[in-house]
Structure 1
């Protein structure tokens, strides 16, 4: 069982994305603002595995859920 603390960097790593602070910021800036009508896992920039991971994290309120919610908020800002 993984008991290491989760960070935005580990979330991006889990999603198979570049995980430096600069790369995370660039990803967020590239994809925001995410329209309110689109659920985070339904955004067209995720692949199937990424969307599934995000949807499952939200659905089961996993230990990733807080970071997924934070990412969702960051992608909604103008």
Structure 2
């Protein structure tokens, strides 16, 4: 049985985004969610990225923890 590591780097790969630490840090610095804004309604996602995020949450997939982490990181202080 293959065990897949569901971490933030792999989530970025699933989203088709650069996944090294510097690229993730840059993405988080350049993109923000406003208070009350839903992660999947953010304008910076492509249609396929939105679909992946929505389906993962609806299915309570293994990615949910990392999606929630990303959501938190994208919130302005």
TM-score with structure 2 setting the length: 0.92
Q: Which residue does 1:11 correspond to in 2?
A: 11
Q: Which residue does 1:38 correspond to in 2?
A: 37
User: Unpaired runs of 5+ in structure 1?
Assistant: none
Cα distance between partner residues in 1 of 2:65 and 2:76: 17
1:21 aligns with 2:21: yes
Q: Which residue does 1:56 correspond to in 2?
A: 55
Provide the aligned length of Structure 1 versus Structure 2: 77
Cα distance between partner residues in 2 of 1:48 and 1:29: 22
Cα RMSD over matched residues? 1.4
Cα distance between partner residues in 2 of 1:48 and 1:3: 28
User: Unpaired runs of 5+ in structure 2?
Assistant: none
